[in-house]
Amino acid sequence: MRLNKHISDTGACSRREADRLIGDGRVTVNGQRARVGAEVGEGDLVMVDGQALQSRTAAPGKRRHAYIALHKPTGITCTTEASVRGNIVDFVDHRDRIFPIGRLDKDSEGLILLTSNGDIVNAILRAEHKLEKEYLVTVNHAVTHGILRGMARGVPVHGQVTLPCRTGPLGRFGFRITLVQGLNRQIRLMAAHFDLRVKQLVRVRIGPVKLAHLKPGQWRNLTDAELRALLPGHAGF
């Protein structure tokens, strides 16, 4: 088994973060510093920062991993770095070692998914998955139908044109937008293209998972139906 997968299977972090830990020289296998791309076998002792990793097991009928939906408030940063004040991991304070799936910028609020299962992160995030993300946005000026049509067709952001998306009015100073991509600060930059400044941005849906009645700071476990819809054909939740 690849070392990064072994580390993610324990719930310590995602595969990507495991590769970073390996590259930083913080992982050893049987007492020897590990290299990125290494493989491990049964009985090998893997340690991160001098601490042995324990395999994750579950009682019959129980999940091996945590999967939660959080209403992230503004001011919380989607990072696992403990040195960052207001990081999302400390905010949730879950009993398992969890990490966010994707991101939601510090000034935005709403739905974000977190898990202890590093195997599913890339499966959910990869571009071809086309997972819809829906947002409610309030801006500082009136939103016209022309602006909404322009956003839906695509605008230049980070040197590329955003993919076509769905938009709709939400009162005079707001709009609803559904994306299938997640460029950094995408909606804020799309609004700025039309001389609009975002005052409030709330993500209300990721694929089949809805924010619904979760209040800022509240979280819940994902249902089996939501997990199956997020990852059709995937097993081992």
Q: List the catalytic residues.
A: 105
For residues 81 and 87, the answer to whether their CB atoms sit within 8 Å is yes
Secondary structure E strands in the chain: 27-29, 32-33, 46-48, 51-52, 67-72, 99-101, 109-115, 133-139, 156-157, 160-161, 166-169, 174-179, 198-206, 209-210, 219-221
* Distance of alpha carbon 53 from alpha carbon 40, whole angstroms: 13
Tokens 């973060």 label which residue? 17
First to last CA, the chain: 19
How far apart CA 207 and CA 112 sit, in angstroms, is 11
- Count of alpha carbons within 13 angstroms of residue 159, beta-carbon side: 0
β-sheet bridge partners, residue 115 = 67, 99
| Cα-trace Rg, the chain | 20
* Number of residues that make up the chain: 237
